[in-house]
């Protein structure tokens, strides 16, 4: 069983100091500043959610203000039209949470469907606050229309108590968010931001992850809005509008996207500065703010907080330990299918792009322990065939059965659960992650990642561990993946595929760009995978010498059809294959 690693205790010191400031605040600040800070605390909670969605997951959203507005209006409406008894408070809070969650689930479902671009999701997030503001404006006396709702009673609390509640709430949310983004689950978000389609081929249901995250972020924003509406005794359509949604993004960008500290500092600083300066500089203040935003984006794309914290970089280790995990061997799970079930069975598979027929009538069968070399001239359809095997949505006709499971129209993440692993030609490894973190992401479907911790050990099946050791990756676990040599990146990509414990492995030109030594290493790894560990490997390769060394059977693809199968000698001695490679064969060759 993998044990979890606690974060360095330094973070507790930071949290303790912030907690002291929250407790001592009422003795230090005047009434006006306390009022401003309480409101800023509620806004900062939402800014933290924007940072998790945008900074860590790559989803630029203008819609978090809508959830804040939903929470604020839940308080305003219930307290105005019902009352402020404990039952009404519970009703308002439940309404804030339930409505924010429901709207977020709907928005996520509409925004993150398969094939939707990030730009589309951002546009959808822009639409939500606009629609919600219009609904509030058309609510008449019930919602207070453009004037909003004012003067309702909520909790009977002193200013000091509000300050401490809001401050502690912000501290709690920021601390939980910090543990989350540092955890193994938090690394999954970064992987989605870096390369979402690669995550799908590691079996991660990215759409589900994003929807769940959006719902959680909406609930936090809804609770913050409820707090704001209860404290201020005023709610207005602007609280759910897209201007606030844009301001949230500005606060996050100014403070430092993807840092968590940055959005909190950005939100507090700008809200306090606005409260003091907007009165004395009513016309210039927005201009100053806009200019500062542009200047930071251009000159300090990382934001202000990373710049301010740079001198303290050596102390970072006290707050977050980046020690790589210890690699351990993990016994592979028993395959759910009997050994007699073929690893791959394809029948009548076809693919066309408009009128261009790229694959036609492909019938292919491969068993466990086979190493199939798929060869053919450029444009023969080899990569397209790989895509049809690994993604049910790719082919236009025919069936693909993986380890006894018909893939139907299922997306890649579901095919992975049938035992499929696909290694891409250009190793699209996650840029911001280290080797160890990439490997951890690759084990997501085997070991559910913790939401608050990083595991201290990393379990890999024996064949994956063999590759790690023979290629020296175990010495580079804390190296950022994009800084590896091409050969090491290819090896990492292969280990990530093997960490899934696949029964069938697709490899697209695994030797491209490798040195002779690396090529030999990969060759022996593939032979061991097929013969010793009984995996079925399908290899697309232009290097015929390499294919000869490793493949047990050769399949020749030409103009979208399989024209020949057999041993290497049978294939290379064939007149048909010679003509194909000489470029004179016809599409209707046998």
Ligand X SMILES: Nc1ncnc2c1ncn2[C@@H]1O[C@H](COP(=O)(O)OP(=O)(O)OP(=O)(O)O)[C@@H](O)[C@H]1O
| Contacts with ligand X, residue ranges (CB under 6 A) | 353, 356, 358, 376, 378-384
CB atoms within 10 A of CB 342: 17
Query: Given the complex with ligand X, which of 382 and 476 has the nearer CB atom?
Result: 382
Query: Given the complex with ligand X, which of 258 and 376 has the nearer CB atom?
Result: 376
| Structure tokens given for 352 | 């066309």
Give CA–CA dist 140/147, Å, rounded. Answer: 10
Please, what is the minimum distance in Å from the beta carbon of residue 55 to ligand X? 32
Give CA–CA dist 121/113, Å, rounded. Answer: 9
Query: Given the complex with ligand X, which of 378 and 586 has the nearer CB atom?
Result: 378
Give CA–CA dist 343/339, Å, rounded. Answer: 9
Query: Given the complex with ligand X, which of 93 and 358 has the nearer CB atom?
Result: 358
Is 507 within 8 Å of 424 (Cβ atoms)?
Answer: no
CB atoms within 10 A of CB 278: 15
The residue written with tokens 């959808």 in the block is 124
- Name which of 263, 346, 350 is nearest 304 in CA terms: 263
Query: Given the complex with ligand X, which of 380 and 467 has the nearer CB atom?
Result: 380
Query: Given the complex with ligand X, which of 268 and 359 has the nearer CB atom?
Result: 359
Give CA–CA dist 254/264, Å, rounded. Answer: 10
Query: Given the complex with ligand X, which of 59 and 424 has the nearer CB atom?
Result: 424
Please, what is the minimum distance in Å from the beta carbon of residue 539 to ligand X? 13
Give CA–CA dist 441/201, Å, rounded. Answer: 11
Kind plus residue range of the DSSP H or E element containing 104: helix 86-111
- In the sheet with 397-402, reading across from the earlier edge strand, the strands are 356-366, 344-353, 397-402, 405-406
- Name which of 226, 221, 217, 220 is nearest 90 in CA terms: 226
Please, what is the minimum distance in Å from the beta carbon of residue 358 to ligand X? 4
Please, what is the minimum distance in Å from the beta carbon of residue 561 to ligand X? 12
Query: Given the complex with ligand X, which of 379 and 408 has the nearer CB atom?
Result: 379
Please, what is the minimum distance in Å from the beta carbon of residue 566 to ligand X? 19
Please, what is the minimum distance in Å from the beta carbon of residue 426 to ligand X? 11
Helices and strands in the chain: count of H runs, count of E runs = 24, 16
Please, what is the minimum distance in Å from the beta carbon of residue 562 to ligand X? 12
Please, what is the minimum distance in Å from the beta carbon of residue 359 to ligand X? 8
Give CA–CA dist 97/200, Å, rounded. Answer: 30
């Amino acid at each position: 069983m993998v044990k979890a690693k606690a974060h360095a205790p330094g973070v507790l010191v930071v949290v303790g100091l912030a907690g002291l400031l929250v407790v001592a605040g009422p003795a230090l600040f005047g009434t006006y500043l306390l009022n401003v800070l309480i409101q800023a605390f509620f806004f900062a909670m939402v800014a933290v959610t924007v940072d998790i969605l945008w900074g860590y997951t790559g989803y630029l959203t203008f819609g978090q203000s809508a959830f804040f507005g939903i929470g604020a209006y839940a308080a305003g409406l219930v307290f105005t039209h019902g009352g402020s008894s404990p039952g009404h408070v519970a009703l308002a809070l439940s309404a804030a949470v339930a409505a924010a969650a429901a709207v977020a689930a709907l928005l996520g479902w509409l925004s993150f469907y398969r094939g939707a671009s990030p730009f589309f999701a951002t546009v959808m997030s822009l639409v939500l606050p606009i629609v919600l503001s219009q609904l509030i404006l058309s609510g008449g006396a019930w919602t207070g229309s453009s004037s909003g709702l004012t003067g309702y009673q909520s909790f009977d609390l002193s200013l000091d108590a509000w300050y401490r509640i809001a401050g502690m709430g912000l501290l709690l949310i920021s601390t939980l968010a910090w543990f989350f983004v540092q955890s193994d689950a938090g690394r999954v978000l970064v992987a989605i931001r870096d390369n979402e389609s690669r995550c799908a081929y590691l079996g991660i249901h990215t759409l589900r992850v994003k929807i769940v995250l959006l719902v959680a972020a909406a609930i936090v924003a809804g609770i913050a809005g409820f707090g704001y509406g209860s404290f201020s005794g005023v709610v207005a359509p602007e609280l759910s509008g897209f201007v606030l949604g844009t301001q949230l993004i500005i606060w996050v960008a100014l403070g430092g996207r993807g840092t968590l500290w940055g959005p909190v500092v950005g939100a507090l600083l700008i809200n306090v500065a606005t409260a003091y300066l907007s009165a004395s500089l009513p016309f210039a203040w927005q201009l100053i703010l806009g200019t500062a935003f542009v200047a930071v984006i251009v000159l300090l794309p990382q934001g202000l907080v990373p710049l301010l914290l740079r001198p303290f970089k050596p102390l970072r280790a006290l707050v977050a330990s980046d020690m790589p995990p210890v690699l351990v061997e993990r016994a592979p799970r028993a395959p759910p299918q009997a050994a007699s079930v073929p690893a791959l069975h394809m029948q009548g598979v076809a693919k066309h792009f408009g009128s261009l027929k790229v694959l036609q009538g492909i019938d292919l069968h491969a068993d466990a322990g086979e190493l199939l070399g798929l060869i053919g001239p450029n444009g023969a359809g080899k990569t397209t065939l790989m895509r049809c095997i690994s993604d049910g949505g790719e082919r236009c006709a025919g069936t693909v059965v993986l380890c006894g499971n018909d893939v139907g129209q299922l997306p890649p993440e579901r095919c992975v659960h049938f035992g499929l692993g696909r290694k891409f030609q250009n190793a699209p490894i996650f840029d911001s992650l280290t080797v160890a973190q990439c490997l951890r992401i690759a084990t997501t479907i085997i070991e559910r990642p913790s939401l608050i911790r990083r595991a201290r050990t990393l379990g890999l099946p024996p064949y994956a561990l063999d590759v790690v050791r023979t290629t020296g990756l175990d010495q580079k676990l804390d190296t950022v993946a994009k800084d590896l040599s091409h050969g090491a990146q290819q090896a990492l990509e292969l280990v990530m595929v093997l960490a899934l414990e696949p029964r069938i492995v697709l490899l697209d030109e695994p030797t491209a760009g490798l040195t002779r030594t690396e090529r030999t290493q990969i060759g022996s790894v593939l032979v061991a995978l097929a013969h010793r560990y009984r995996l079925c490997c399908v290899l697309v390769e232009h290097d015929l010498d390499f294919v000869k060394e490793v493949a047990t059977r050769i399949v020749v693809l030409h103009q979208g059809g399989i024209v020949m199968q057999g041993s290497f000698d049978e294939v290379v001695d064939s007149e048909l294959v010679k003509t194909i490679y000489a470029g004179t064969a016809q599409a209707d060759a046998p």
